[in-house]
Amino acid sequence: MSSPRDRGKSSMESSGSEPPVTPSRYESQKRRDWNTFGQYLRNQRPPLPMSHCNCNHVLDFLRYLDQFGKTKVHVPGCMFYGQPEPPAPCTCPLRQAWGSLDALIGRLRAAYEENGGSPETNPFASGAIRVYLREVRECQAKARGIPFKKKKKKPTTTEMGGGREDSSSSSASPFGFS
C-alpha cells in the first residue's frame, strides 16, 4: 500500500530520496471544503449519504454558511443601503461574500468528480446553484452600490448621456434592473 506522499510517482522513482510533496493551497482548501460538506451531510437528521445529495442540499449548505460570513450586506430598509463605504455601523447581517461562495462551489464541484462522482450527477454543477450565485452577486452588488456589468439592450447612446455611464447624471438604477 502506498502512502499519500507516494501517490503519482512511478514505480521507477525512489520514495526515500525525495521530500514529501505538500499539496498546493488550492488542493488543501478543496480537501478541507469537501470534508466540511461531508460533515454537514453527516450532521443532518437523518444523516445524508453523498449519493443522495442534490442541489437543494447544496443550497441549504450555502445558506447555512451565511451565519459564519464576514461581509456586511445592507438590507433595502437600511439607511446605508447602496453605499459602498457607510460612515457608521448598522445592524444589517453579515453574510458570506459572493466571491467566496463562487470559489467554494468551484472547489466542491471538482472534488465531487475527483471522489468518484459523475459529472452528469454533480449537484454542485446544477443550474439552480448558478442561479443562486447570480442572485447573491446581484443582491450584494446592489446593497453596496457597486454596479456590475450587464449588457443593456438600448441601441442609442444619447439616452445614456452621450455614451458615458455616469450614475450621478441619471435617476435609473446603476444595476440594470428596475
Q: Coil, strand or helix: which one is 178? A: coil
CA within 13 Å, CB half, 109:
15
pLDDT tens for 89-133 read 999 999 999 999 999 999 999 999 999 999 999 999 999 999 999
The answer for residues whose C-beta is within 8 angstroms of residue 132's C-beta and 6 or more apart is 59, 62
Q: What is the pTM of this model?
A: 0.70
Residue located via cell numbers 455614451: 163
Task: Please give the domain boundaries of the chain with CATH numbers for all domains.
Answer: 23-142 (1.10.150)
Q: Provide the mean pLDDT of the chain.
A: 81
Q: From residue 157, how far is each of 147, 161, 168, 169 by CA, in Å?
A: 18, 7, 16, 14
